[in-house]
């Protein structure tokens, strides 16, 4: 990791940025914390424990250097991309900490996941490092409207097709299954809000036609067991 | 030779097998597998023509509709869908200048120019004819190589299998778009995600977070639809202005002239050879094949300045190459059980759902399935020519459907499809989460295809790694000392080093960016 820091410092000296890239510093510190918590689940002197503690130290140091020396991260795509993959590896270590390791010559349930996670963490470290030493285009803004309505429409479909229950205070509320027709139509209409170009009449007609087509295809032609209409 | 013919005969026997249906009191013979193949090619083209829906997304979307079919029929239909999607991608390249597919990116260069000169008909026809010729040749090649390769594969132990998969993944990395190290990261992420669920040997739930739905693992269709289907929609919604350059002129005269045919015949032959060879290699076979074929045509042409201005060789050669490669990429899957690219990874998933474990034992234990599928490749290619040329007008009108109506339709179709696999609402929500993840990946220049490949290969790799280590009594050196395994790993290392060398890296980037 020391190479990473040196590379970053060089960058700072050459570019001379003086605004603090706070998120770029906070992110690795947060990961360091997760790394230490994950390490806590393992024997500190075992290979995995040592690996996670070292990783945590390196990440913590990275974050401090970035904030302390006001390092400007030149390639955000690689930097955050690498950190996200480190997060994935850490989650795997944490959630797989209860799994058995090697027993003699035979792999335990946890051996292969840990092997892949170590490899992922190392590769992700290199990606993060390349984010500090290479130039790249900024990530650019995220669209908000599209992802929100797309996600909402799928969640709506999932909830409507089978029904669901939830607790409201002390009472258990049961929402009945609405069936394929209503779920499909609702999914179409909600996702249509995701585009600014949507025209309502046109979309409603298409939604109805598509729902009919899907019912015909999945239920009548393919014979899949779908519930069509609401059942209370 | 005789074996080959006998086997192909068996295959065609399976494909043309007739079932009798009682219609109005008459027993009407219908070759159901041909019908599946036809339907597959038809819907494959239908979806493949839609801009922004590649063949991985197409297959993932249409996978659920094959669940109700018998295994042979389902796989034949899927193969049809794949060729259809490929061909649909070429159609959009030529008519709209939007490659529906990475494999038909080069087709836009000359194909769309031809369309603008009013020669869309000949361009589409040559693409179809070239694909068909390539399909015929590569079908025979698949059949011929199938048996010997399977014989080799049967001699493989777990160590060899593991090393072979490493090689396959390295190929995928080297031939993928963009950064090498990021592609490796994606593969490892895929491998890690495939570990979620019950451990095969002990049955312990792994990394399930206490969520019961995770105990069966994450479905690969869920991942594929999320990162390819949903993520693509979210990204397409970002750019609101529709800048589609649909060829408005009516397409008249499909027939290429005699001069066209003369010019394209050798190009088709060369494209077929290149495509067949590159397709066998694991990795992004068909994509590289089409680029390589185009580059070769341009190199050896007497007047290379015609390329990019509507040269018919520039359509004939890459289209033949990508189809040949699409076909021969079945070889590693059918003989070794190792998917060489994301599409084949989906085929593995489909086979598993139908209870078939891909690998050398398929040919010996289920010869009807193996040879039937190979024979159906040829039939599928024939279908493409037969159905697509008359239907070009239909595909064009489909391209005029505005995206604001298209994307909710795709979305609903995908949602129903995912739900129908397990009747699990949880899966659809998970796919939506993978959609957001996929969008994030696109934003950070990560390619999702290597991830899917790693995801499918993960359990296989683990199993073979475990067995190899157990047999070798914990000695890691077994992977290097066994000659075949060591050779494969050495080859992987050499490939990786070569790809990382600055000189080759630049060439690779040029190839990908072009």
Residue for token digits 């092997």? Answer: A115
- Interchain CB contact of A75 with B (< 8 Å): no
> Residue B207: which of A77, A96, A191 has the nearest Cβ?
A96
State the helix-helix crossing angle for B120-155 and B367-399, rounded to 10 degrees: 150
Mean pLDDT of chain B: 80
Range among A33-37, A95-99, B147-151, B207-211 rated most confident: A33-37
Q: pLDDT-based confidence at B510, cuts 50/70/90? A: low
Q: Mean of the pLDDT values across residues A88-98?
A: 88
Evaluate if residue A15 carries a pLDDT over 60: no
Higher pLDDT, B21 or A195: A195
- Looking at the complex, report in whole angstroms how far the Cα of residue A129 sits from the nearest Cα belonging to chain B: 11
**Using CA atoms, how far apart are residues B466 and A206, in angstroms rounded to an integer?**
52
Task: State residue B282's pLDDT score.
Answer: 63
**Using CA atoms, how far apart are residues B408 and A214, in angstroms rounded to an integer?**
13
Helix (H) or strand (E) holding A14: helix A2-15
Evaluate if residue A152 carries a pLDDT over 60: yes
Whole-complex ipTM: 0.86
Interchain pair A197, B191: CB under 8 A: no
State the helix-helix crossing angle for A22-40 and A47-68, rounded to 10 degrees: 160
Report pLDDT digits (tens) over B311-349. Answer: 888 888 888 888 888 888 888 888 877 777 778 888 888
Q: pLDDT-based confidence at A16, cuts 50/70/90? A: very low
DSSP B377-396: HHHHHHHHHHHHHHHHHHHH
Q: pLDDT-based confidence at A149, cuts 50/70/90? A: very high
Q: How far is CA A117 from the centre of its chain?
A: 16
Q: pLDDT-based confidence at B295, cuts 50/70/90? A: confident
Which range among A28-37, A131-140, B7-16, B48-57 shows the weakest confidence by mean pLDDT?
Answer: B48-57
Q: Which residues pair with A106 in a beta bridge?
A: A103
> Residue B188: which of A116, A147, A189 has the nearest Cβ?
A116
Which residues, numbered 86 to 125 in chain A, qualify as contacts with chain B under a Cβ-Cβ cut-off of 8 Å?
Answer: 88-89, 91-92, 95-96, 99-100, 104-113, 116-117, 119-120, 123-124
> Would you call A2 helix, strand, or coil by DSSP?
helix
Evaluate if residue A8 carries a pLDDT over 60: no
Interchain pair B189, A88: CB under 8 A: yes
| All structural domains of chain A with their residue ranges | 2-133, 145-221
Straight-line distance from the first to the last Cα atom of chain B, in angstroms, rounded to the nearest whole number: 42
Higher pLDDT, B272 or A164: B272
- Interchain CB contact of A78 with B (< 8 Å): yes
Report pLDDT digits (tens) over B57-111. Answer: 788 878 877 877 888 888 888 888 888 888 887 887 787 776 666 677 778 778 8
Task: State residue B434's pLDDT score.
Answer: 93
**Using CA atoms, how far apart are residues B371 and B144, in angstroms rounded to an integer?**
11
Q: Which residues of A touch B458 (CB under 8 A)?
A: 116
Interchain pair A81, B413: CB under 8 A: no
Mean pLDDT of chain A: 83
| All structural domains of chain B with their residue ranges | 2-12+31-513
Task: State residue B22's pLDDT score.
Answer: 67
**Using CA atoms, how far apart are residues B246 and B484, in angstroms rounded to an integer?**
52
SS3 letters across B269-337: HHHHHHHHHHHHCCCCHHHHHHHHHHHHHHHHCCCHHHCCCCCCHHHHHHHHHHHHHHHHCHHHHHHHC
Note the pTM of the prediction, 2 decimals: 0.80
CA dihedral for B49, B52, B57, B63, sign (positive or negative): negative
- Interchain CB contact of A73 with B (< 8 Å): no
Interchain pair B415, A146: CB under 8 A: no
Evaluate if residue A225 carries a pLDDT over 50: yes
- Looking at the complex, report in whole angstroms how far the Cα of residue A65 sits from the nearest Cα belonging to chain B: 23
> Would you call B419 helix, strand, or coil by DSSP?
helix
Evaluate if residue A198 carries a pLDDT over 90: no
> Residue B429: which of A124, A154, A191 has the nearest Cβ?
A154
Q: pLDDT-based confidence at B429, cuts 50/70/90? A: very high
> Residue A127: which of B182, B202, B469 has the nearest Cβ?
B182
Mutate to test the interface with A, among B73, B237, B442, B448 (most CBs of A within 10 A): B237
Which range among A31-45, B186-200, B239-253 shows the weakest confidence by mean pLDDT?
Answer: B239-253
SS3 letters across B127-150: HHHHHHHHHHHHHHHHHHHHHHHH
Contact B230, B435 (CB under 8 A): yes
Evaluate if residue B7 carries a pLDDT over 50: yes
Q: Which residues of A touch B182 (CB under 8 A)?
A: 78, 81, 127
Report pLDDT digits (tens) over B438-495. Answer: 999 988 888 887 888 888 888 888 888 888 888 888 778 888 888 888 888 998 898 8
Straight-line distance from the first to the last Cα atom of chain A, in angstroms, rounded to the nearest whole number: 60
Interchain pair B407, A117: CB under 8 A: no
Percent of chain B at pLDDT above 90? 5
Closest C-alpha to B170, from B492, B479, B500: B492
- Interchain CB contact of A134 with B (< 8 Å): no
Which alpha helices (H) appear in B176-224, and where do they start and end? 180-194, 220-224
Evaluate if residue B47 carries a pLDDT over 70: yes
Task: State residue A82's pLDDT score.
Answer: 93
Report pLDDT digits (tens) over B223-270. Answer: 888 887 788 888 878 765 455 555 555 556 667 777 878 888 888 999
Percent of chain A at pLDDT above 70? 91
**Using CA atoms, how far apart are residues A196 and A229, in angstroms rounded to an integer?**
31
Higher pLDDT, B391 or A40: A40
Residues contacting residue B411 through CB under 8 Å, at least 6 positions apart: A150, A153, A154, A187, A188, A191, B230, B233
Q: Mean of the pLDDT values across residues A106-115?
A: 85
Q: Mean of the pLDDT values across residues A43-58?
A: 88
Interchain pair B469, A106: CB under 8 A: yes
Q: pLDDT-based confidence at A31, cuts 50/70/90? A: very high
């Amino acid at each position: 990791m020391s190479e990473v820091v040196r590379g970053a410092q060089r960058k700072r000296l050459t570019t001379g940025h003086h605004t603090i890239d706070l998120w770029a510093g906070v992110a690795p510190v947060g990961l360091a914390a997760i790394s230490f918590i994950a390490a806590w689940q393992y024997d500190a002197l075992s290979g995995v424990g040592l690996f996670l503690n070292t990783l945590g130290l390196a990440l913590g140091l990275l974050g401090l250097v970035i904030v302390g020396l006001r390092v400007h991260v030149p390639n955000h795509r690689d930097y955050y991309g690498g950190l996200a993959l480190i997060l994935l590896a850490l989650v795997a270590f944490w959630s797989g900490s209860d799994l058995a390791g090697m027993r003699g010559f035979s792999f335990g349930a946890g051996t292969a996941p840990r092997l892949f996670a170590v490899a992922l963490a190392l590769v992700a470290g290199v990606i993060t490092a390349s984010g500090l030493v290479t130039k790249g285009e900024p990530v650019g803004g995220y669209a908000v409207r599209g992802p929100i309505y797309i996600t909402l429409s799928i969640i709506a479909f999932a909830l409507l097709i089978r029904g669901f229950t939830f607790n409201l205070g002390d009472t258990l509320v049961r929402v009945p299954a609405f069936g394929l027709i209503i779920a499909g139509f609702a999914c179409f209409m909600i996702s249509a809000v995701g585009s600014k170009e949507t025209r309502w009449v046109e979309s409603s007609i298409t939604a109805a036609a598509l729902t009919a087509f899907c019912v015909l295809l999945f239920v009548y032609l393919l014979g899949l067991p779908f519930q069509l209409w609401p059942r209370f | 030779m005789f074996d080959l013919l006998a086997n192909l005969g068996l295959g065609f026997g399976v494909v043309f097998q007739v079932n009798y249906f009682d219609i109005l009191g008459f027993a009407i013979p219908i070759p159901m597998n041909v019908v599946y193949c036809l339907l597959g090619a038809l819907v494959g083209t239908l979806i493949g023509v839609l801009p922004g829906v590649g063949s991985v997304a197409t297959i993932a979307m249409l996978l659920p509709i094959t669940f109700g079919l018998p295994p042979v029929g389902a796989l034949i239909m899927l193969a049809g869908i794949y060729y259809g999607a490929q061909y649909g991608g070429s159609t959009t390249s030529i008519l709209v200048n939007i490659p529906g597919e990475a494999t038909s990116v080069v087709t836009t260069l000359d194909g769309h120019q031809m369309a603008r000169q009013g020669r869309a008909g000949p361009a589409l026809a040559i693409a179809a004819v070239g694909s068909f010729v390539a399909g015929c040749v590569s079908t025979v090649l698949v059949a011929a190589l199938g048996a010997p390769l399977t014989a080799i594969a049967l001699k493989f132990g777990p160590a060899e299998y593991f090393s072979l998969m490493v090689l396959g993944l390295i190929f995928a990395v080297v031939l993928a778009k963009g950064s090498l190290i990021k592609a490796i990261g994606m593969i490892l992420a895929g491998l890690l995600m495939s570990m979620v669920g019950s451990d095969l040997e002990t049955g312990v739930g792994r990394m399930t977070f206490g969520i019961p739905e995770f105990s069966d693992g994450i479905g690969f269709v869920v991942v594929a639809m999320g990162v390819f289907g949903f993520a693509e929609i979210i990204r397409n919604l970002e750019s609101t202005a529709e800048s589609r350059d649909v060829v408005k002129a009516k397409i008249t005269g499909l027939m290429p002239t005699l001069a066209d045919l003369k010019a394209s015949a050798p190009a088709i032959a060369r494209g077929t050879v290149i495509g067949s060879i590159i397709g066998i290699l694991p990795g992004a076979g068909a994509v590289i094949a089409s680029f390589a074929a185009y580059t070769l045509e341009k190199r050896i042409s007497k007047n290379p300045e015609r390329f990019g201005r509507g040269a018919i060789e520039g359509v004939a050669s890459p289209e033949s190459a990508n189809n040949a490669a699409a076909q021969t990429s079945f070889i590693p899957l059918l003989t070794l059980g190792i998917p060489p690219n994301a599409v084949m990874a989906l085929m593995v998933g489909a086979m598993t759902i139908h209870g078939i474990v891909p690998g050398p034992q398929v040919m010996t234990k289920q010869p009807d399935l193996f040879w039937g599928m190979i024979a159906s490749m040829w039939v599928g290619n024939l279908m493409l020519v037969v159905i697509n040329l008359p239907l070009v007008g239909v595909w064009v009108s489909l391209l005029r459907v505005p995206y604001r109506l298209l994307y909710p339709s795709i979305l609903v179709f995908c949602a129903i499809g995912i739900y129908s696999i397990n009747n699990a609402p949880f899966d659809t929500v998970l796919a939506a989460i993978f959609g957001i993840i996929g969008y994030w990946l696109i934003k950070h220049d990560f390619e999702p295809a290597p991830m899917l490949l790693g995801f499918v290969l993960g359990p296989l790799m683990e199993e073979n790694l475990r067995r190899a280590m157990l047999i070798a009594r914990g000695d890691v050196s077994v992977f290097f000392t066994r000659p075949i395994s060591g050779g494969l790993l050495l080859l992987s290392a050499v490939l990786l080093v070569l790809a990382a060398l600055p000189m080759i890296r630049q060439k690779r980037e040029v190839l990908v960016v072009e």
